[in-house]
Amino acid sequence: MGWRLHVGATVTTVVALFGGYLVADAYDVVPGLLTTAPPPPEAAPFPVAPGALLGPAPEPALPTLSPDAPVPSTSAVGDLVTGLARDARLGERVGVLVTDALTGEALGSAAPDQAMVPASTQKVLTAVAALTSPGGDTTLATRAVLSGESQVVLVGGGDMMLAAGAGDPEAVNGHAGLGDLADQVAARVLVSGRTSVTLGLDDTLFSGPAIAPSVRPGDAAAGYVAPVASLAIDVARLTDDEYARRAPDPALAAAQEFARQLEARGLDVEGSVSRADAPSSGQVIGEVRSAPLSAIVQDMLERSDNTITEVLGRLVAIDAGLPGSLEGSVQAVTAAVERLGVDLEGARLADLSGLGEGSRMTARQLVDVLSLAVDPVNPELRDAVTGLPLAGLSGTLGSRYPGDHPGRGVVTGKTGSLPNITSLTGTVLTADDRLLVYAVLADAVPDGGTWGARVIFDDFLGRLAACGCTAS
């Protein structure tokens, strides 16, 4: 009986306490869901800016080309091509093909299937391959990884266009900066109380020869190409000149500059930079990223950058599961283009830039590659065309097509130039607004005639652009 009274008293006490808490909750004395306070007022309506009106619907800056634009007649284009191919100033080996961009119909040709030296026109293959895989949205990371307690390892991810200091988000070359990376690393290390580190360099992303064996030693020494590396500042240029001498070890030069950037931020770098593999379990304490590959491809085409072409090819190889080497890159680029439907039988690539000796392609193969990029069903490849230099206005065609030249502003082209070799491949917009795709090559130009051969090619393309030569 006594225990029942005890339990009853306990229950009564708990109920009383709970009831008291509910009352306190209602009067907001203790936290809870109940309240006797009046409900809050309704929120005021979202303010509307006085006089705000919807703007007009956006309109395209340029009109779309009409599919009904007249197609030049095959007889007229054929006459122009025949005249070009027979010009003795070009030598005995001339390959030409002009097609309609919309239908793919050949409008004029001369030896279109003869294997010839393409020079830098072959860069369009690497452009198309890179935009396919890894893809135009890809960016390249340069990272700093903490190894143990006191070593920072700089890890290259393929960006040879780093800035020494702060990066410029509006730029392609110099988009990411080692100074920005140093800001991140110094902040993370110094906050831990450590004031000194050692610096390692992991540049193992790429392998094999840094310069293709097919490249003439004098061309490399003159700065036409840099040793390919997984990171570099300003494509390893030692001065601001376009064809400046290049750092012999671009990755190490970049790492040494990174050490200077760290020390400028109060972090002492002990000893010299040494190569070291970044541990897979290491903590990433800083990262900067390049411009997207679409922008890099456009920049490469506009400036005909031999080094960046080779870098892009190695990235294509790695994405395909192959080694990031010259051999792997040639194999991967060739396979990527062939998967898109281009017949590359008989083609040979000694390197990807076209600077080396031994590459061979046909005019038809070059046209077929660019035709992929102008086809609306391949929007991911469009940068391979929009990045081409524009006659008289940009890139390697900027100083050609002067004044009122009929090709100015309507011819695009990837240039190619080697001793006794001149080539060009791109697009032409005719006077009737019909888009054509072309390739012109001459690889046996007489000594001293290379500059003149360019003028002859430009004159041919100007005539093609001015052509209102439709079938009667």
For the annotated catalytic residues, the residue numbers are 120, 123, 304
CA-based end-to-end distance of the chain:
121
Helix (H) or strand (E) holding 414: strand 411-418
Contact 160, 296 (CB under 8 A): no
Tell me the two tokens of residue 338: 């062939």
50 vs 209: CA distance, rounded Å = 66
> Could you tell me which of 367, 359, 340 has the C-alpha nearest to residue 130?
340
61 backbone dihedrals φ, ψ, rounded to 5°: -70, -35
> Could you tell me which of 289, 97, 102, 309 has the C-alpha nearest to residue 180?
289
Position of tokens 């395209």? 60
Angstrom CA distances, 45 to 41, 42, 50, stand at: 12, 9, 14
Count Cβ neighbours within 10 Å for each residue of 78-117 and write b for 16 or more, e otherwise.
bebbeebbebeebbebbbbbbbbbbeeebbbbbbbebbbb
254 vs 247: CA distance, rounded Å = 9
**Running DSSP on this structure, what letter comes out for residue 10?**
H
Contact 130, 297 (CB under 8 A): yes
Position of tokens 């064996």? 213
430 vs 409: CA distance, rounded Å = 11
The neighbouring-strand residues paired with 365 are: none
Number of residues in the chain: 472
Sequence-ordered alpha helix ranges (H) in 66-216: 74-85, 123-130, 178-190
40 backbone dihedrals φ, ψ, rounded to 5°: -65, 150
